[in-house]
Chain A
């Protein structure tokens, strides 16, 4: 079964540093998403991406965040200057045709900001 692959599985970074979280979506999928989940809390939507541009973003996705699809296979989330409250599991997801097709999620990157 096709998978969404995320790397690294765990990243520790110092406050103020930049981090890039990487995702390889399923190859024939066209829609890409980032979500995060702070420990013990619900899954929060960050951003959706289609046709090489952001289609939706949440109030969490401020100027510190950016996404990019640098080539035909990778989808990245960059946090420019990490804060302690950015510590969370970050999940990438992809979909063949948007919400009506269901999303396939990756196993996540646990980001710890110290």
Chain B
């Protein structure tokens, strides 16, 4: 399983764009990159998934360079309600492992 590395925490202000980068140097050919969001006392929530280049949905964008050794989750114009832990997962098997994630704090 590819190991992922993310910043432990990030701070931002309302209305700003937030970019969270995850490194996964030993990503395998079949691996997808998936990001989840978790609020306290709730289950993780799927945000976005990609394999290469750029993926965008109504919530976020995911940028993946050609070598796929990293990925960046981009949250446009964050609000206070985006304060949460964000996890980057990489793999293609049935035992997806969560790391410590990035604790994003959005300030007014």
Contacts and interface: CB of A to CB of B under 8 A. Distances in A.
A43 B95 contact: no
A108 B43 contact: yes
B95 A48 contact: yes
Interface stretch (A14-22, A70-78, A91-99): A91-99
B49 A100 contact: yes
Interface string A34-66: 010000001111001010000111100000000
Contacts of A58: 95
B94 A31 contact: yes
Given A31-B94, A48-B95, A104 B41 contact: no
A108 B93 contact: no
A91 B96 CA distance: 13
B13 interface: no
A24 B73 CA distance: 30
B92 A99 contact: yes
B96 A45 contact: yes
Given A42-B98, A42-B99, A100-B49, A105 B43 contact: yes
B94 A103 contact: no
A31 B87 CA distance: 21
A89 B95 contact: no
Interface of B: 32, 34, 36, 38, 41-46, 49, 87, 89, 91-101
